[in-house]
Amino acid sequence: MYSRRTISVYWSTFNTIIAIMDNNPRQSRYLLANRIIELARASRFQTGFHLREQHLADMLQVSRTPIRAALMLLEERGVVEARKNKGFIMKLGAEELERAEVEVPNSPQQDLYARIVEDRLAQRLGETVGQAELSRRYAVDRITMQKTLMTMASDGLIIRGPGRNWIFQPTLDNKIALNASYEFRMLIEPAGIMMEDFTIVPSTIEQIRLEHLNLLARPDFNSLPARQLFDLDANFHEIIAECTGNTFVHQSIQHQNRLRRLLEFASYSNSRRIREWCQEHLRILTALQEGDRKHASDLMKGHLDSARRSVARSRQKSDLLISTQK
């Protein structure tokens, strides 16, 4: 019933799915719903195809109960149709299914994480903050706050200070600094590709390409941690910079990535922009693989300009929201 390609798609991401579901039970049916959509795409299910709950449960290694809950959610979204005495059938055709996606709600911890980041960027939080103070401010228990702060620390946004204090890492904390950073990168990164000693490692470039293709194949990347998306993005730029063979170019891009981490995290909730920069990265990689460095350089400049405008719009929306809450 299912092709080898379909099975491969599923097993490649199965462990990640289960881990996310275990950590965020409230999100599980949304994640499963997106996996069912992905399975339908990979298997080329047509309108009217009968979705058997047990077959889906076997494929995803879960019981029929969560599968049924996910199918009911897909019915609400108009992806499938419930028929009496028959179960669920596909409602969307192949073309419509390509655009189908169920938005995954944030977990309480993800919401808390976002609020802390926004308050720091709005300078409502100082450089050093106490854990107890934060728990009172956001009305959450000690364990939830500690887990959130540990996540932020693993993301490189904060470090432990003396006692129970935490210290925010240096960042680009205003629109002028952000724009200056992108202007600097638009001078350095495209020019780096044209440097005489620029040399790619084919296996490394291919690995990055596959990582991007894997992300694009996932309909639920909105549920992925911002850290994972940021690291994929940052790693792409750092590896391209490393190909220059110039330590100063490479280190300068690493430094810019560290500075932009906090300010740009909000933009990684924009699924449309994530798809765009993934596709832009892939076009640059293809040009490099084909040996067309001039085209790759031009594409890099355009990509950075698009990213600059996207992050600026994201910050503008955030600033507007903050101003209405004052």
Is 87 in the same domain as 112?
no
In a domain, 219, yes or no: yes
**Residue 160 has which token pair?**
């432990």
Residues 92, 117 share a domain: no
**Structural contact between residues 74 and 33, judged by C-beta atoms closer than 8 angstroms:** yes
pLDDT above 70 coverage of the chain, percent: 81
Please determine, for residue 60, whether its predicted confidence score (pLDDT) is greater than 60. yes
Query: Which structural domain range is residue 212 located in?
Result: 175-325
> Which one is predicted more confidently, 132 or 171?
132
Same domain, 316 and 199: yes
From residue 209, alpha-carbon distances to 276, 279, 281 in Å are 14, 10, 8
- Tokens 């940052």 — which residue? 234
> What type of residue sits at position 39?
L
On whether residue 103 sits in a domain, the answer given is no
b/e 194-221 (16+ beta carbons within 10 angstroms → b)? eeeebebeeeebeebbeebeebeebbbb
CATH code of 114's domain: 1.10.10.10
Domain edge (last residue) among 124, 141, 168? 168
Handedness of CA 8, 13, 14, 15 (dihedral sign): positive
Same domain? 245 vs 218:
yes
- Given 43, 62, 97, the domain boundary residue is 97
**Which is nearest to 74 in space by CA: 53, 60, 55, 58?**
53
Residue 284 confidence (pLDDT) above 90:
yes
Count the helix, strand and coil residues of the chain and give each as a percent rounded to the nearest 5: 70, 5, 25
Mean pLDDT of 311-319: 63
